[in-house]
Structure 1
Amino acid sequence: MPFCRSILFGIVSVLIFSTAFAQTTTPTFLQLNARQNCWVDSIFTNMSPDDRIAQLIMVAGYSNRKPAYEDSLLTLVRTNKLGGVVMFQGGPVRQARLTNRLQAISPVPLLIAMDAEWGIAMRLDSTVRYPYQMTLGAMQGNDTLLYQMGKNLAWQARRLGMHVNFAPTVDVNNNPNNPVINFRSFGEDKYAVTRKALAYMRGMQDNQLLTSLKHFPGHGDTGTDSHYDLPLIGKSRAQLDSLELYPFRQLINAGAAGVMVAHLSIPALDTTRNRPSTLSPAIVTNLLKNELGFKGLVFSDAMNMKGVTKFYASGQADELGIEAGMDVLEFTENVPAALAQIKLAVSLGRISQASLDERCLKVLRAKAWVGLDQYKPIVLDNLVSDLNPPKDDLLNRKLTEASLTVLKNEGGLLPLQRLDTLRIASVAIESDKITAFQQMAGNYTQVDHFKLTSKTPDSTLAAIRDSLKNYNLILVDVHLNNIRPTAKYGMQPRTAALVSELVATKKAVVTVFGNPYVLDKLTFPMDTAQPSRSIEQARAIVMPYQLTNYTEELSAQLIFGAIGASGKLPVTVNQRFRLGDGVQVQPNGRMKYTIPEEAGVDGRFLTQQIDSLVNVGITEQAFPGCVVQLAKDGKVIFRKAYGTHTYDASLGAEPKPTQVDDLFDMASVTKVSTSTPALMRLVDEGKFNLNGKMVDYLPFLKKSNKADLVWRDVLTHQARLKASIAFWTDTKNPDGSWKPKTFKFEESGRYPIEITDSLYEFRKYPTTIFEQLRDSPLNPKKEYVYSDLSFMLYPQVVKRLTGENFEDYLKTTFYQPLGASTLTFNPLRFYMRNQIPPTEYDSLFRKTLVWGHVHDETAAMLDGVSGHAGLFGTANDLMKVYEMYRQKGSYGGQRFISTKTVEEFTRYQFPELGNRRGLAFDKPSFKYSGNAPQSATKASYGHSGFTGTFVWVDPDPAYNLTYVFLSNRVYPNRSHNKIITLNTRTNIVEALYQATKRGIQ
C-alpha cells in the first residue's frame, strides 16, 4: 500500500498541474478511487516502455468476417499487446464472442470502442438505432430526452462490453454540401449544437461510457470528405473561435472525457502545407491541450483515411500523430510500422518517454473507470433481447415525435378535421409497396393508396393521375433512401417532377422522409415558368428528417391529430426554408398508436397475459380466432389478431389467419354502437325524452300494452318486455316448408330482402315482425330482464325524428366524422367475404353457413339493419366510438354528444332496485359475477355480444381504458360457449387493469 500511495501522489500531481486555461471540470475518469488507482499503478509498473506505447494503439475489429480474419486479429492484438479495438460491422452476439476472445488473450484488458453516434445500430445489426443528430437538432426544449438517449446507450454499451463511444458530433454544419458531417450534426446553430451535445454527452458519461467529441477543431464547413481527401478549411482564427471551436470549448469545460481530432488542413492554425490537424502539434498540443486546457483522452480520427494517408505513409503518420500530442491512435493500419516509428522517435528524442508514460497512465485510468480493473466476460445469454428493451422503443418514439417539423400549414389544415368532408388518397413516392405511413393513415379513416416510383410506366402514371381527380386531399409521402448530398439525397429528377405535379393540384399534404436539405431540390423560384410546381404550393409540409418506421408512423399520426408538432428546422435550406422555421400544431384527441410503456404499462407482462388467455381459448375451441385491441389514456397500446376464421374447411370457409382489419359481426354490441349514440344525440337535441313513453315516438304502439312504457325503464331492461321472440319460427309450416309471403329461394321484386345467398324474404314481412312485437305479451313483474325487443324499434324512432334512414343517420352523424369507415350493416355490399369471419352454420332456419350476413335471425329478417344486431366492422373502427364515449362525447376535435348526456347514459340508473344497467350500457354488477372485469370501477361500462364480442370503457383516471374484443365464438354453432365459462373476454381486459397497477417494471 505505501507503494500505491507514492504512485497516487505522482498521479495527483499530474492531475493538478494545469495552465490558466485548464479544463474547468476534470473528466470523471481521472477521478478514481483508491482501489482503481492501485490497479492502474500495478499494471503500469509491470509494463515495459514498448508495452506502454502499445496501449496507445487501437486497431479495427469486425465480427462479420471469416475465422481466418479473427485469428489474425487475435494474433495482432496478442503479439503487440495493444490497448484497444475499434469495432465496426457485425452483429451483437458475434461481436460479443469476438470481444471475449480478444480480452482473454490480452494481458491488459482492452478498451473496446465504436462509432455509435446514433446508437450501436450504426455498426451492428439487431440493435437500437436512434435518430440522426440533425433530426434531434429539430427538437425544442427536450434535452432531457437526449440525456436519456445517452444513458440508455451507455447501458447497452456496458452490456456489449464496449467502453468508448466516438460521439457526440459537435461540428456545426453550416455547409449544406458537407458530404461527411451533414446529418450527423445537430445543426448550424452553435448554441443549439452545444446544448444538445452536452445533454447527450452527460447521459453517456454519467453512466460510465467514455465519450469523444468530434471532429476537432470543426468539420462542419467543408465540401470535402476526409475519408477520401484532405479538406481545406480556409477560415480565419477569429472565425474559428467564434463558431467551430465554440462547442468544443464549452463541452471541454463541462468535463468531456475525450476529443477526436479530424484530418483537416487549417492554415489559420497550422501553415504547414498538407499537414492534417491530427499530425499538427500546433493544433493538438498547443490549441487543444494547452490553450483549451483539455486533460481528457485525445483520439485521432481513423488513421486509414485519405485525409491523412494521402500525404503521409502508414507508420510515419502514426508517429507524427503521437508526436503532435495524440493519446490514442484509432484504426492504425500497419501496427508494426507504427510501433517501430514511434520507438525510433523516442530514441531520437522527438518524443519523450515521460510523455508516453503520462498518456499510457491516462489510458489505464480510463480502463479502470469503465470497470476493466474488475473485468468480466460478456454474458451471451439473452444478449439481443437485452440490447433491445421496450424503454428504447419508447425513447425512439419520443425523440422522433419531438423532432417532427411542420413547415407549412395552410389555413390550419393540420390536424385534419371533419373527416366526413374529405376524400383522401395517399401517394407513396419511390416505394413499390404500401408504406408504414400509408398503413398508419388508414387507421384513421378511409384512405385509398397509390404507389409511384421513378420507373412507373407513363400509362400507369396516367391512370393514377386520372384517379386522383376523385379526391379532395392527397397525402404525398416522399421516400428517400439516401440522405447524403453526394447522392443528391436520393432525389431523382423524375421524383421531383412527380412531387411537383402533385403539389400543383393544390390538394397535397407533403411529407418528405429524407434530409432537410433536399427541400432545395423541390423549391422553385416564384419567377420561374412554373412557380405553382414548387413544394411551397402544397397545403401542408411535414419534415420528419429521415426514413424510419418511427418517422413514417408518427408523421401520419401527426397529420390526423393524435400527436402535435413542435420541431424547428435546425439548418437553413434556402431563402424559403430557414433555420428555426416550424409551425406549432396541437393534437386533436384522435387515438395514438404506440406501445404499452408509453402509457406506463408493462408491455411484456400484458402481452404474456393476453397471449396465454387467448391461446387457451383457441385450444379449448372457445373461438377459432379473435382480435384484441386495448387503449389507455387514448393510446392504443395493444392490437393483435389471433387464430383463424374457422377451425377447418369442412363448412366451406377456409381457416384463413385472422387479421386486425377483419370485419366481425358485432351482435348485441350493435345496441350501444348504433341505437345508443343515436338516442344520445337526439336527447342533446331535445328531440327525445328519456322519461317519455314509447307511444310518444312510435304511434303504431297506440292502444298496445307497450304504449305507456317509459323509455328510461325500457333502456334499463326493466319495462317488462320479453327477452326475445323467435320471429323466424312463425314463417314455417309444420312440414318445414315456408308459409306464403315469407321466403323464396330466388330474388325478385316481391322478395328482395337477402337473408343468405339463396334465400330471400317477402318485401313486407318486416311489418309483420313489428306487428308481432307490438302484440307480444309483457312479463308480469317489473324487474330486470335483458331484452332485445325495444332495440329493434330504434331505427323507426330515428327515422321519425330525423327524417333519415337509420344507417344513413349513423354514418353521416357518427361513423364518417369519426373515421370509422368500416362500421356498416350488410358488409358484403362493400367488402370481400374473406375479410369477414363466418359465424354459425344455421341448421334450423337458413340451412347454411352464415358468412357475411348478420347472425341474428331477426336482424336478418329486417334486411340486416336493426338497432339490436347487424353492425359489422373492425376492432379499430369500433374503438373510435368508445373512445368518443371515454372522451365524454368528443373525438378528433369534434363534439358528437354532450358530456352531460354521456354521463347520464353511462351511470347506474336504478341501483336501489338491484339493476346494474346504465341506459343501454351494461355496468359492473354490484357483486362480481363475471359480466365485467373484476377490477372494473363503478364508472365503467360496456356491452357483450352473442357472437363473442365485447367492449368496455373505464373512464376512471386510474385506468382510463378502452377495450374491444371481437370473435366468432358461435362458429361452427352456438353450443360453443366456452368463451363464457372461461371468462376470456373480461379476463383479457383484467390483464390491462393488472398491468396498469403493476406499471413498468
Structure 2
Amino acid sequence: MLWSYTDWTSDALPMVEAGELGGIISRGPRPANVQTAVEFTNDLQHRSPLPLLFLEDFEFGVGYLIRGATEFSSAMGLGATGEAQCAYEAGRITALEARALGYHVPIVPVLDVNVNPANPIINVRSFGEDPEKVAEFGVAFARGIEEAGCMACGKHFPGHGDTDVDSHRQLPAVPHDRARMDAVELVPFKRCIDAGISFIMSAHIVFPAVDPMPGLPATLSRKILTGLLRDELGFEGICVTDAMSMRAIADNFPAGEAEVRAAEAGADFILCMEPRVAYDALVAAVKSGRIDLERVRTSAARILAAKERMKLHEKRDVDAGAVASVVGTDAHREKALEIARKSMTLLRGETPCLRPDGKLLAVIVRTKRPTGIESHEVLAAELKGHNPSADCLFVDEQAGADAAVQVERRIPEADRVLFATFARVEAYKETSGGRAPAQEEIVRVLARSEKPFTAISFGSPYVLGRLGTAHNLLAAWHDSDVCIQAACEVCFGKLKPAGESPVTIPGL
C-alpha cells in the first residue's frame, strides 16, 4: 500500500528518504512560485529511493496556487462559456504547466453536479447543475489533462454537489435514493470512467442509498469504493481519498484506524495528515491479516503502472531551465483571457454600466488569493485603468455598520456606484461562498442612493440573488487577473457579455 502526505512536519522528510511514501501533496507551506515549485519537486525526487507521484489541487490552473503560472476562470465560469472546448484548453494548459514543474496529477476535474445553491464548498468549483453538461465538460477537461501528459482525477465520488455542509467542517449526507443518484450524481463519473480517466477521488460523505451503515462516509465504505466504483462502474484506475485530516473523517475516526478502513474499502492512495501513524497502522493491519497482502499488491501495481506511464523510471526530475518556455507564457495567458471573456454573464441590466469619465464610487470587498495576491487591489488598478478618477473604497468581508457609514458619506460625490464581492469558496471557512450577511447593509445603502448601481461577483453567483436592488448584475465567476480584466471590459463597454449561467440563481 502506498499513500501520500499532506503537511510538512518533522516525520515527513525521513519517511520520504526511507521510501515509505508513494507520493506527495503539499498542504503547507506550498511552493510560493514556479522556481520554488521546481526546487520542491526535484529535491524530494532526489531524496526518495523510489519515484514519487506529485499531486496538487490545480482546480483553476497552476497559477491558482503557484505565482507565475497561468490561472483560469472557475469550472462554473468554463460552464458559462457553453463551449466544452474551453474546458479542454484549460485542462491541457494546466497539465502542461503542472508537468513542467514536476507534478503529475492535477486533482481535477470536479465532477460534482451543483444542484444545491446553498452548497458552501463545491459551488463555482462545479461546471454547473445539469448532469449531462457537467459530464461533457468534465470529459473534455480530463481529456485535455491526459493528452498533455498528466493524469486527471475526477472528484468527489460519488458526488458532493447536493450538500449544504462543508465536509472539511462536518460529515455531510446525501439522502437521495439510488435512482436519483443514477440520474444526477453518478452521470459525470460514469462518463469520465468510460472515457478512461486515471484517478477518482472519494468523498467524505454518507450515501445511505448505497451503504446504509450510519455515519460511514464513502471513503471508508467498501460497498461504495469497491462495489459501486469498481464492480459496477468498471473503474480500473487509481482511487485516492480526499484529505483524511478533514473533520468529516478526523472528528469521527481515529488517525490510523481511518486509513486502515480506507484501504479495506478499496482506496489505493490515502492522503494522510499523520503519515507515521497511518504507516504503522497499515503495516500492523497487514501483519495481523486484517488487510490481505494481495489487496496491497493490487494497489501497488496500479500506482507503479501510473509511475511507469509518467516515465518516472527513466527520469524523475524536471528541467528548471525549460520552465519559462512552458509555464505562464503569453500564449497561455491569452487563452485564459479568451476563455474568461467568453464566460462573462450579465444576469440583469445592460452595458456599458460604467463610464470612463464619470464619478465612480467602487466599494470592493477585501480578499486574498492562496498565492497572497490581493484581488481587491488588482480590481482597483483595473478600474482606474479605465476611469482614473474612480474612488475605490475597500471594506472587510465582515464589514458592518461602520463601513456602511463610510459608504454613505462618499455617495454624494459619485454619479454611479459599484459593489464588488469575491464570494470565495474556501475550505473550513464559515463564510465560504459569500455567506457574509454584514455586507448586506452596505448594499442597502448603495441601493438607497438611487444612482445607477452595478454589482459584480468574482466568485459564487448565488450571492447576486441577494443583491436584487442592483440595476446591473454581472457574474465574473472567479478573481483571477483575466476574469477581473474581462469584467471591467464588460462594465466599460469594451466587451459584450455572452456567457450564460450554468446554474439557477434563487432570487433572479
Could you tell me how far apart the structure 2 residues matched to 1:441 and 1:377 are? 42
Distance 1:394 1:283, change over 3 A: same
Can you give the 5+ residue segments of structure 2 that lack an aligned partner in the other structure? Answer: 367-374
Residues 434 and 460, structure 2, Cα contact 8 Å, conserved in 1: no
Q: State how 1:531-930 maps to structure 2 within 5 Å.
A: 534-535=469-470, 538=471, 540-576=472-508
Could you tell me how far apart the structure 2 residues matched to 1:361 and 1:452 are? 54
Could you tell me how far apart the structure 2 residues matched to 1:460 and 1:217 are? 47
Q: 1:183 aligns with which of 124, 129, 132?
A: 124
Distance 1:558 1:242, change over 3 A: same
Structure 1 residue 129: deviation in Å? 2.3
Could you tell me how far apart the structure 1 residues matched to 2:178 and 2:435 are? 37
Q: What does residue 458 of structure 2 align with?
A: 513
Q: What does residue 150 of structure 1 align with?
A: 91
Q: What does residue 441 of structure 2 align with?
A: 497
Structure 1 residue 488: deviation in Å? 6.6
Residues 319 and 345, structure 1, Cα contact 8 Å, conserved in 2: yes
Q: 1:307 aligns with which of 227, 248, 251?
A: 248
Q: What does residue 80 of structure 2 align with?
A: 138
Could you tell me how far apart the structure 2 residues matched to 1:437 and 1:145 are? 24
Distance 1:362 1:513, change over 3 A: closer
Partner SS, residue 252 of structure 2: coil
Partner SS, residue 223 of structure 1: coil
Residues 123 and 433, structure 2, Cα contact 8 Å, conserved in 1: no
Could you tell me how far apart the structure 2 residues matched to 1:271 and 1:440 are? 53
The higher-RCO structure (CA 8 Å, 6+ apart) is: 2
Q: State how 1:192-207 maps to structure 2 within 5 Å.
A: 192-207=133-148
Distance 1:280 1:517, change over 3 A: same
Partner SS, residue 156 of structure 2: strand
Q: What does residue 363 of structure 2 align with?
A: 429
Deviations 1:222-243 (A, max 9, x none): 1222222221221111111111
Q: What does residue 747 of structure 1 align with?
A: none
Q: What does residue 264 of structure 2 align with?
A: 323
Q: What does residue 408 of structure 1 align with?
A: 348
Structure 1 residue 307: deviation in Å? 1.7
Structure 1 residue 480: deviation in Å? 3.4
Partner SS, residue 372 of structure 1: coil
- Residue 60 of structure 1 pairs with residue 6 of structure 2: yes
Could you tell me how far apart the structure 2 residues matched to 1:227 and 1:80 are? 29
Residues 425 and 450, structure 1, Cα contact 8 Å, conserved in 2: no
Q: What does residue 430 of structure 2 align with?
A: 486
Letter in 1 for 2:351: L
Partner SS, residue 158 of structure 1: helix
Could you tell me how far apart the structure 1 residues matched to 2:52 and 2:114 are? 34
Could you tell me how far apart the structure 2 residues matched to 1:563 and 1:133 are? 21
Could you tell me how far apart the structure 1 residues matched to 2:431 and 2:365 are? 18
Residues 436 and 553, structure 1, Cα contact 8 Å, conserved in 2: no
Residues 452 and 461, structure 1, Cα contact 8 Å, conserved in 2: no
Distance 1:463 1:83, change over 3 A: closer
- Residue 213 of structure 1 pairs with residue 150 of structure 2: no
Deviations 1:788-810 (A, max 9, x none): xxxxxxxxxxxxxxxxxxxxxxx
Q: 1:399 aligns with which of 339, 346, 360?
A: 339
Structure 1 residue 176: deviation in Å? 2.1
Partner SS, residue 430 of structure 2: helix
Q: 2:14 aligns with which of 75, 78, 88?
A: 75
Q: State how 1:26-175 maps to structure 2 within 5 Å.
A: 53=1, 56-60=2-6, 62=8, 69=9, 72-88=11-27, 89-91=30-32, 92-140=34-82, 142-175=83-116
Residues 480 and 491, structure 1, Cα contact 8 Å, conserved in 2: no
Could you tell me how far apart the structure 1 residues matched to 2:410 and 2:451 are? 17
Residues 78 and 86, structure 2, Cα contact 8 Å, conserved in 1: no
Q: 1:292 aligns with which of 233, 255, 262?
A: 233
Letter in 2 for 1:549: D
Distance 1:437 1:346, change over 3 A: closer
Q: State how 1:919-998 maps to structure 2 within 5 Å.
A: none
Could you tell me how far apart the structure 1 residues matched to 2:492 and 2:50 are? 57
Letter in 2 for 1:516: P
Percent of pairs with identical residues: 28
Structure 1 residue 425: deviation in Å? 2.5
Partner SS, residue 259 of structure 1: strand
Partner SS, residue 54 of structure 2: strand
Structure 1 residue 325: deviation in Å? 1.2
Partner SS, residue 552 of structure 1: helix
Can you give the 5+ residue segments of structure 1 that lack an aligned partner in the other structure? Answer: 1-52, 63-68, 524-533, 577-1001
Letter in 2 for 1:97: E
Structure 1 residue 543: deviation in Å? 1.8
| Matched pairs, number | 490
Could you tell me how far apart the structure 1 residues matched to 2:410 and 2:66 are? 40
Could you tell me how far apart the structure 2 residues matched to 1:488 and 1:292 are? 33
Structure 1 residue 309: deviation in Å? 2.5
Structure 1 residue 493: deviation in Å? 5.1
Q: What does residue 856 of structure 1 align with?
A: none
Distance 1:125 1:414, change over 3 A: closer
Distance 1:427 1:239, change over 3 A: same
Could you tell me how far apart the structure 1 residues matched to 2:4 and 2:155 are? 17
Structure 1 residue 352: deviation in Å? 3.0
Structure 1 residue 380: deviation in Å? 3.0
Letter in 2 for 1:185: S
Q: What does residue 369 of structure 2 align with?
A: none
Distance 1:428 1:489, change over 3 A: farther
Structure 1 residue 386: deviation in Å? 4.6
Q: What does residue 372 of structure 2 align with?
A: none
CA RMSD of aligned residues (A): 2.9
Distance 1:490 1:384, change over 3 A: farther
Which structure: larger Rg? Answer: 1
Q: TM-score, normalised by structure 2?
A: 0.87
Could you tell me how far apart the structure 2 residues matched to 1:284 and 1:202 are? 23
Could you tell me how far apart the structure 2 residues matched to 1:406 and 1:461 are? 25
Deviations 1:289-343 (A, max 9, x none): 00001111111111222222222222222122111111111225243x4344434
Residues 232 and 266, structure 1, Cα contact 8 Å, conserved in 2: yes
Q: What does residue 841 of structure 1 align with?
A: none
Letter in 2 for 1:98: F
Deviations 1:673-723 (A, max 9, x none): xxxxxxxxxxxxxxxxxxxxxxxxxxxxxxxxxxxxxxxxxxxxxxxxxxx
Structure 1 residue 462: deviation in Å? 5.2
Q: 2:312 aligns with which of 369, 372, 394?
A: 372
Distance 1:319 1:452, change over 3 A: closer
Deviations 1:601-624 (A, max 9, x none): xxxxxxxxxxxxxxxxxxxxxxxx
Letter in 2 for 1:275: L
- Residue 363 of structure 1 pairs with residue 303 of structure 2: yes
Distance 1:379 1:430, change over 3 A: same
Structure 1 residue 285: deviation in Å? 0.6
Structure 1 residue 366: deviation in Å? 0.5
Residues 457 and 476, structure 2, Cα contact 8 Å, conserved in 1: yes
Distance 1:446 1:260, change over 3 A: closer
Structure 1 residue 436: deviation in Å? 5.2
Letter in 1 for 2:481: N
Q: What does residue 262 of structure 1 align with?
A: 203
Residues 69 and 97, structure 2, Cα contact 8 Å, conserved in 1: no
Could you tell me how far apart the structure 2 residues matched to 1:442 and 1:499 are? 22
Q: What does residue 411 of structure 2 align with?
A: 465
